[in-house]
A and B are shown apart, each in its own frame.
Chain A
Amino acid sequence: NAGVTQTPKFQVLKTGQSMTLQCAQDMNHNSMYWYRQDPGMGLRLIYYSASEGTTDKGEVPNGYNVSRLNKREFSLRLESAAPSQTSVYFCASSPRTGPNQPQHFGDGTRLSIL
């Protein structure tokens, strides 16, 4: 019953450091997403991968890169962390893209940039 698994759950970085957030799903879903959630802002889409081998920018992609490693895994990389990237990051997956496809979320990575 794992669903979407995100690691790490918590992380503190210094400005300028880099790190990769990991996400894996075991539901054989084709599509995966990375969101960030900030107080009062709701969730905003950073990047998505409609299917294995493809990635596209979302609403707020600046400062991030992604890799769709295989069908199960979709990672998010911060090359040079900035305090503005302090947030809670959620990974999600869905069977396919489309308006009738539910998205299933992980429990998030809480990231603080000092």
Chain B
Amino acid sequence: DAKTTQPNSMESNEEEPVHLPCNHSTISGTDYIHWYRQLPSQGPEYVIHGLTSNVNNRMASLAIAEDRKSSTLILHRATLRDAAVYYCILKTGGGSGAGSYQLTFGKGTKLSVIP
């Protein structure tokens, strides 16, 4: 899977929007962009994914650059429960074997929410 780059940490005030960036300059045409988050002492939680178009769900929005070399996860109103490590992951549609099934988690962005 292609590599992603995220800031190590970010801070946000409670009830304000949060924009979490991710760079993936080597993305291929068949790579899906996935976002997961992990709260302390819990398993990773799926947030959202997309291929080319912007996506919205009840948790967040995903904005994908026109050239697909970057994306932004948008939390519309941060709450204390949103404090977590957020992972941007590319999932390829090609290849075979274990690598095509595995989610490869990097270091992610640790989001702190200030009351």
Give the interface size class of chain A: 20 to 34
Inter-subunit contact B102/A59 (CB<8 Å): yes
Query: Which of A62-70, A74-82, A101-109 forms part of the interface with chain B?
Result: A101-109
Residues in B neighbouring A100, C-beta threshold 8 A: 32, 49, 51, 91, 93
Query: Which of B6-14, B15-23, B69-77, B104-112 forms part of the interface with chain A?
Result: B104-112
A14, CB-defined interface residue at 8 Å: no
Inter-subunit contact B42/A98 (CB<8 Å): no
- CB < 8 Å neighbour of A45 from B32, B34, B42, B98: B98
B103, CB-defined interface residue at 8 Å: yes
Residue of A nearest to B87 (CB): A42
Cα of A71 to Cα of B43 in the assembled complex, Å: 21
- CB < 8 Å neighbour of B44 from A43, A48, A57: A43
Instruction: State whether A90 and B43 are in contact (beta carbons under 8 Å apart), knowing that A99-B30, A99-B32 are contacts in the complex.
Output: yes
Give the interface size class of chain B: 20 to 34
Inter-subunit contact A48/B104 (CB<8 Å): no
- CB < 8 Å neighbour of B105 from A33, A42, A102, A108: A42
A26, CB-defined interface residue at 8 Å: no
Residues in B neighbouring A43, C-beta threshold 8 A: 44, 103, 105
Q: Which of B31, B42, B92 has the most CB of A within 10 A?
A: B42
Cα of A104 to Cα of B37 in the assembled complex, Å: 11
Q: How far is the CB of B97 from chain A (nearest CB, A)?
A: 8
Inter-subunit contact B49/A45 (CB<8 Å): no
Cα of A42 to Cα of B1 in the assembled complex, Å: 15
Inter-subunit contact B98/A48 (CB<8 Å): yes
Residues in B neighbouring A92, C-beta threshold 8 A: 43-44, 103
Inter-subunit contact A107/B43 (CB<8 Å): yes
Interface of A toward B, CB cutoff 8 Å: 4, 31, 33, 42-45, 48, 50, 56-59, 90, 92, 97-100, 102-108
Query: Besides the contacts A44-B102, A100-B49, A102-B46, what 13 more A-B pairs have beta carbons closer than 8 Å?
Result: A33-B102, A45-B98, A48-B98, A57-B98, A58-B98, A59-B102, A97-B100, A99-B32, A99-B100, A100-B32, A103-B103, A105-B43, A108-B43
